Amino acid sequence: MSLESSHPVQLNELYREVIMDHYRRPRNKGTLENPSVSVDLHNPTCGDEITLQLLVRDGTIQKARFAGRGCSISQASASMMAQQVEGKTLAEAEEIIHRFKRMMRGDEAAGETLGDLMALHGVAKFPVRVKCALLAWEALERSLEQLS
């Protein structure tokens, strides 16, 4: 499934390349043997599936891995999210979720500290695609809830 065929979304070329790079070469993809938490979610409007697993020690996300399938936006978002939260404290992860959600509501400035995730800011203009981008983040939110 490519961005072109499954999503009639016109994104800035540079951002599109970042998204497609994460989609084709996902970071942090895989499963953990003894995760502290594991959450499965799917997005029925698009068919995206995500399993997120975290290994947490002393309040820090030591490992973040995802597995799944679906459109380029859902999978790239999961790859960028897992890469971004690994090594962060739970409080820092909460802050990153908060910023990403603000960016998905159209607040571009909220994404400025989010690295590659900034590439997804244009998705905010497409409500159906926002669900794709948020799927991995909902899995992260539920994971943090289960840990608390």
Binding stretches for Zn ion (CB under 5 A): 46, 48, 71, 74, 132
| Alpha-carbon span 118 to 100, nearest angstrom | 9
Task: Tally the C-alpha atoms within 13 A of residue 56's C-alpha that lie toward its C-beta.
Answer: 21
Q: Which is nearer to Zn ion, 7 or 99 (CB)?
A: 7
CB of 12 to Zn ion, least distance (A): 19
CB of 118 to Zn ion, least distance (A): 19
Contact call for residues 36 and 58 (beta carbons, < 8 A): no
The smaller minimum CB distance to Zn ion, of residues 74 and 84, is found at 74
- Of the pair 65, 129, the CB lying nearest Zn ion is at 129
Is residue 62 within a helix (H) or strand (E), and if so which, with residue range? strand 60-69
Closest by CA to 45, choosing from 130, 121, 103, is 130
Nearest distance, CB of residue 56 and Zn ion, angstroms: 28
